[in-house]
């Protein structure tokens, strides 16, 4: 009898396990991932509630609050790959930068909120006077949590989105995570990157059992092991981590996705969806920020734009071309502090001439970001009374009178029964030429593509400093090294750093920057974060050309910017503290920057 009962129990357990297994297999991978994400959001909320309870307790210790905060951060990082991809608007107020968000169209100002703001209340020391603000921020997090829950429980997730989102998360770890972008006070980059990669590994592991031999779990485990063994922020070898672990992982993810052959929706965005790494040739799309699909660069438009670029016909006086200030032999700058007004050689224009190399990889143009594409930039420059003092409409009329130009425009913009040249065609031709100036082919790029001798040790040290202790990479984001925010790169940021008026450093420059465009106090003295690529060729530096050498620029940042020099810059977004870089470290930084020079073909 006992034997019969035992057999029956085993039979029932076996049947139950089989039913559970069949049930699990009947659930699609997307559904399993969505359920996991939903549970992870619950865990994040539970961690938030614990921290809130401690914050509401006036007897809670500093260490207790800090430990609970770090746990809350890790809970968020476990589903960051999905939160940032599927609901970036909510994520901006869950883990966005601790600065005001200003909507350029309406001018609406959103106050900073989220984990980075909370970090400032708790680190490096907890100030009990901030307890009310801390509690308020923790309660506000519930809004984002509700949005995440609504999405992951109600909206269908597709397989191709899982791959797109997780690969972007690895790119986020490589460009932001290991740079300490969103944990500048705790610098728990290794711990948080581990949480991100573990979650991505678990999601992707659901796919590799059916096709492929990439062995991604082992690759992720090796990267995680490296992070666990290298937790010191300043000494972390980012160059080694990216080349030995990060790039192989995203390459394998791309290869696996190709084999799975998912039906996907393609987007015209800056970092191409099929890019295996952020460093491979063709990873970035020069046409991402065109006014429309019909404005994409073509060989004919580029050829026309090249001719227009060097022709003074666009200027009102017929004496200045685009190339007069953006000279190819000077990396498309002019080498001057500021150029002169077109009809007055004794008067200077307002700002320094920036390079046009890789300008197509920016979602906005000019130091004050007032133009949203290269076409509008060309229109603004031609119409500016100090720069070219011309008229795009009149220039188009002049061009129509020229037989050679009529032929070039006909080839670039085929039209039946053409009777004139449209101003938009002129603007687009110039924009197309500038889009041809994408040059991500420096020795640094070669190194990241596997050529280990492309950079020397001093330059590698400089890169690690740039992305770590020197904090350059938290504004000049890798791999473009400008203010375009990875991994979407669809927003370009400005900073307030307190640039001096003169080399004597006696006071802040009076140029108000973005404030002149949008009268928001946070924008006073705010300027676009320009690219560091080709900086060795584009002196002098800053919007006013105040610094003539890279050494001066590094020294300025090392001192803490304008505030570090003693200027009153209440809205400075650059960290006020000195970096305390040694002479050797400053030299290494400069050496790395020089490795970013494009090969001018």
Residue that the structure tokens 């490795």 belong to: 595
CATH class of 293-435: mainly alpha
Distances (CA, A) of 49 to 1, 53, 137: 53, 6, 12
Count the Cβ atoms, other than its own, within 10 Å of residue 580: 9
Residue pair 533/481 in contact (Cβ under 8 Å)? The answer is yes
Confidence category of residue 19, pLDDT binned at 50, 70, 90: very low
Mean pLDDT of 66-78: 98
pLDDT at 8 over 60: no
Residue-wise pLDDT tens digits, 20-58: 334 444 689 999 999 999 999 999 999 999 999 999 999
How sure is the predictor about 208, in pLDDT bands with cuts at 50, 70 and 90? confident
How far apart CA 589 and CA 556 sit, in angstroms, is 13
The answer to whether domain 454-594 has CATH 2.40.10.120 is no
Same fold, 293-435 and 454-594: yes
* Whether the predicted model's global pTM rises above the 0.85 cut: yes
How does pLDDT run across 436-495, given as a tens digit for each residue? 999 999 999 999 999 999 999 999 999 999 999 999 999 999 999 999 999 999 999 999
pLDDT at 26: 65
Q: What's the mean pLDDT in 154-165?
A: 96
Is residue 99 pLDDT above 70, yes or no? Answer: yes
- Domains of the chain, residue spans: 30-157, 159-265, 293-435, 454-594
Rounded mean pLDDT, 205-225: 87
CB 352, CB 544: distance < 8 Å: yes
Q: Could you give the angle at which helices 159-175 and 29-56 cross, rounded to 10 degrees?
A: 50
What are the structure tokens assigned to 233, written together? 């922020």
* Of the listed ranges 12-21, 46-55, 196-205, the one predicted with least confidence: 12-21
pLDDT band at residue 264 using 50, 70 and 90 as cut-offs: confident
Q: What mean pLDDT is predicted for residues 355-362? A: 98
Task: With CA atoms as reference, report the closest residue to 167 among 112, 104, 220, 106.
Answer: 220
pLDDT, mean of residues 246-272: 93
């Amino acid at each position: 009898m006992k034997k019969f009962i035992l057999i029956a129990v085993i039979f029932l357990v076996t049947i139950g396990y089989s039913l559970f297994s069949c049930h699990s297999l009947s659930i699609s991978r997307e559904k399993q991932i969505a359920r996991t994400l939903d549970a992870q959001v619950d865990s994040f909320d539970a961690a938030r509630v614990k921290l809130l309870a401690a914050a509401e307790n006036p007897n809670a210790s500093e260490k207790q609050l800090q430990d609970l905060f770090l746990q809350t951060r890790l809970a968020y990082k476990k589903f960051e790959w999905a939160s940032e991809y599927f609901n970036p608007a909510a994520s901006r107020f869950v883990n966005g930068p601790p600065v005001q968000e200003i909507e350029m169209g309406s001018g609406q100002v959103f106050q900073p909120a989220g984990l980075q703001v909370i970090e400032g209340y708790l680190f490096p020391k907890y100030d009990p006077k901030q307890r009310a603000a801390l509690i308020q921020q923790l309660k506000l997090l519930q809004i984002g949590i509700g949005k995440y829950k609504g999405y992951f429980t109600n909206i269908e997730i597709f397989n191709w989105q899982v791959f797109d989102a997780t690969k972007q998360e690895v790119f986020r770890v490589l460009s932001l995570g290991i740079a300490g972008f969103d944990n500048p006070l705790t610098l728990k980059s290794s711990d948080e990157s581990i949480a991100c990669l573990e979650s991505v590994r678990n999601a992707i592991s659901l796919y590799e059992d059916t096709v492929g031999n990439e062995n991604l779990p082992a690759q992720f485990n090796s990267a995680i092991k490296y992070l666990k063994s290298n937790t010191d922020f300043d000494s972390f070898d980012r160059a080694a981590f990216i080349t030995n672990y990060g790039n192989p992982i995203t390459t394998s993810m791309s290869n696996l996705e190709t084999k799975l052959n998912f039906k996907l929706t393609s987007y015209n965005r800056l970092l191409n969806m099929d890019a295996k790494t952020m460093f491979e040739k063709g990873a970035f799309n020069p046409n991402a920020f065109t006014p429309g699909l019909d404005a994409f660069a073509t060989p004919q438009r580029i050829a026309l734009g090249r001719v227009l670029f060097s022709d003074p016909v666009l200027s009102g006086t017929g004496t200045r071309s685009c190339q007069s200030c953006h000279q190819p032999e000077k990396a498309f700058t002019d080498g001057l502090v500021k150029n002169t007004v077109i009809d007055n050689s004794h008067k200077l224009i307002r700002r320094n001439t920036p390079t046009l190399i890789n300008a197509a990889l920016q979602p906005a143009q000019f130091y004050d970001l007032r133009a949203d594409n290269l076409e509008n930039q060309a229109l603004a420059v031609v119409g500016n009374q100090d720069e070219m003092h011309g008229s795009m409409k009149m220039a188009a009329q002049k061009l129509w009178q020229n037989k050679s130009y009529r032929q070039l425009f006909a080839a670039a913009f085929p039209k039946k029964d053409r009777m004139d040249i449209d101003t938009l065609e002129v603007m687009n031709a110039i924009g197309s030429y500038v889009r041809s100036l994408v040059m991500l082919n420096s020795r640094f790029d070669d190194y990241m593509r596997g050529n280990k001798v492309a950079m020397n040790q001093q330059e590698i040290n400089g890169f690690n400093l740039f992305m770590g202790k020197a904090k350059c990479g938290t504004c000049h984001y890798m791999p473009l090294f400008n203010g375009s925010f990875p991994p979407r790169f669809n927003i370009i940021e400005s900073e307030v750093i307190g640039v001096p008026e003169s080399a004597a450093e006696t006071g802040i420059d009076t140029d108000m920057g973005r404030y002149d465009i949008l009268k928001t106090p946070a924008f006073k003295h705010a300027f676009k974060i320009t690219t560091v690529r080709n900086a060795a060729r584009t002196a002098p530096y800053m919007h006013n050309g105040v610094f003539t050498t890279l050494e001066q620029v590094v020294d300025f940042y090392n001192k803490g910017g304008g505030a570090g020099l003693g200027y009153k810059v209440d809205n400075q977004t650059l960290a006020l503290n000195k970096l305390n870089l040694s002479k050797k470290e400053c030299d290494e930084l400069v050496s790395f920057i020089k490795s970013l020079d494009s090969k001018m073909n």
